[in-house]
Amino acid sequence: MWRLLSELFGRSSPSSPPDQRLIGNTAFTTFRATSAFIQEVRRDLSRPHAFALERVGFITVRAASGADGLVLLAEKYYPVADDEYVRDNTVGAMIAQEALRKALELALLQRIGVFHAHMHFPSARLWFSSTDLREQANFVPDFFKVCPQMPHGAVVLNDKAIAGRIWTAPTQVKNIDEFNIVGTRSTVKRAASDGSTDFFA
């Protein structure tokens, strides 16, 4: 994979270790965003596609470490373009190499965390599918090859809740503990012990 990244960006592998000032305290992890931001993400991910059953996007985050743990501050949302999906009937959505290249480039050039995002249909329990978990293990660690100083990960949404996982190193992953959505009516949702959230958040 690094040979591909080197060809894409013309860089050698970054040697900087993870920034322990940011990601050293992960006993409790909070994902924070405005309600307007989350609504924007949900609107985009809910749009139908010509053949993909799901849409995919990437959320960039800044990280801040405090006495209570690590806080992930959602910054921008980047949807995957319609022509960057690949036909594959075995999964809800398969994105092309170009879409992943753009996401890696965000992490490399902006030195930010990148979180894969997609939607699930309403259910009693919001969590990743077995396919989601398998694919995350394949691609999330690659972001540390271009930006090892920041955490990366994945989130899944429905129209009521969010759940997610965070990597603080290529082999160190945990569930996000809390989602703090700030708006005219702020909400705080704690994840269950297995990382999932219920539908009626």
If one compares 191 and 101, the residue with the highest pLDDT of the two is 101
**Per-residue pLDDT averaged across 11-27, rounded?**
52
**Per-residue pLDDT averaged across 117-129, rounded?**
89
The pTM of this model reads 0.84
pLDDT tier at 185, thresholds 50, 70, 90: low
Rounded-to-integer distance, Cα 30 and Cα 190, Å: 9
